[in-house]
């Protein structure tokens, strides 16, 4: 299989690239190495001499360059994005350009180059404050942030390209993904970083908001299976653990793993755009992909803290 991974240097993209190359596939990695956060190249450096890996420094807003990247590809795993609810509240256009226009470009390039399937990245944030929990793919999507709106618009384009042009696609609604290599702006990494420095964790809100945390290795297994599963027909698919835990519980587990249970959280006002609860029903993914999550939250947090002590602070 010849696969293209957009956002190949990022948290999920680099971990997926590792898996694909380990399986013996050809991988074209696409990344623009923007300034949102630095140091991503180290996640790909060990592959640079691999004959099956080609790295292209390309922005997904450059349609002509994307077409060249997609030549002879069987599948495109689209992970390039402007992540983050809070930055989208400050700069909605940045999220729209990267997530909506960028995804449209990916679909156009894939259509024009005869790519069979696009596995696109969406987000559980499209549900907003979900009308019921756990959320199912048939439930209403009611975004409450520009980030969520940009992701939902990208989903609509995926469905449209399937219906209009027959381009097979699926939009994966990731719930809170965590683990080694996660971005510096993500809560688990921030909590861990502060604890290691002997600083109190800062929690926005009362900490009783809940999240469906999904470990990175479970997520990339699901993404990989989307290349071979039956035609997903341009529809969304929840990728989640199917269980939920409060932010207070997560902070407590991190402090225990770090050995700083003496630190007490500091509570700050809630942030605009943050939802109260996320919890997904993953039965559709189990059926379509033959997949199930394996890593429980305490084990996943322990793995992350161990990685962060050894490599994450470099």
Dihedral class, residue 201 (left if φ above 0, else alpha if ψ from -120 to 50, else beta): beta
Closest-CA residue to 297 (of 264, 267, 256): 256
3-state SS, residue 103:
helix
Residue 122 near residue 171, CB atoms below 8 Å = yes
DSSP symbol at 229: S
> Does 147 participate in catalysis according to the annotation?
yes
3-state SS, residue 314:
coil
Closest-CA residue to 295 (of 254, 240, 256, 248): 240
Catalytic residue among 127, 147, 162, 174: 147
Closest-CA residue to 58 (of 34, 88, 77): 34
- 149: burial class by Cβ within 10 Å (0-12, 13-18, 19+)? buried
Could you give the C-alpha distances from 120 to 49, 159, 232, 308, in angstroms and in order? 28, 11, 12, 28
Active site residues: 147
């Amino acid at each position: 299989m010849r696969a293209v991974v957009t956002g190949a240097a990022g948290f999920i993209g680099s971990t997926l690239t590792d898996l694909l190359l380990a399986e013996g596939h050809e991988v074209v990695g696409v990344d623009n190495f923007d300034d949102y956060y630095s140091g991503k190249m180290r996640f790909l450096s060990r592959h640079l001499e691999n004959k099956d890996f080609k790295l292209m420094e390309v922005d997904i807003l450059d349609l002509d360059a994307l077409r060249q990247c997609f030549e002879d590809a069987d599948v495109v795993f689209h992970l390039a994005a402007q992540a983050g609810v809070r930055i989208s509240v400050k700069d909605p256009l940045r999220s729209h350009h990267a997530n909506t226009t960028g995804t449209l470009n990916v679909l156009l390039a894939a259509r024009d180059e005869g790519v069979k399937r696009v596995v696109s990245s969406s987000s559980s944030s499209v549900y907003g404050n979900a009308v019921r929990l756990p959320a199912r793919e048939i439930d209403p999507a009611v975004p409450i942030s520009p980030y969520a709106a940009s992701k939902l618009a990208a989903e609509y384009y995926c469905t449209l390209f399937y219906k209009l042009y027959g381009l097979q696609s699926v939009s994966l609604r990731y719930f809170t993904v965590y683990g080694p290599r996660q971005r510096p702006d993500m809560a688990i990494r921030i909590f861990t970083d502060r604890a290691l420095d002997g600083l109190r964790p800062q929690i926005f809100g009362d900490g009783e908001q809940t999240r469906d945390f999904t470990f990175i290795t479970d997520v990339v297994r699901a993404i990989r299976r989307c290349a071979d599963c039956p035609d997903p027909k341009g529809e969304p698919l929840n990728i989640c653990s199917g269980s939920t835990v409060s932010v207070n519980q997560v902070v407590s587990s991190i402090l225990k793993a770090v050995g700083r249970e003496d630190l007490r959280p500091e509570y700050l006002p809630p942030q605009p755009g943050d939802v109260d609860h996320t919890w997904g029903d993953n039965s559709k993914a189990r059926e379509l992909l033959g997949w199930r999550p394996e890593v429980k939250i305490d084990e996943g947090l322990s793995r992350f803290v161990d990685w962060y002590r050894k490599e994450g602070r470099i």
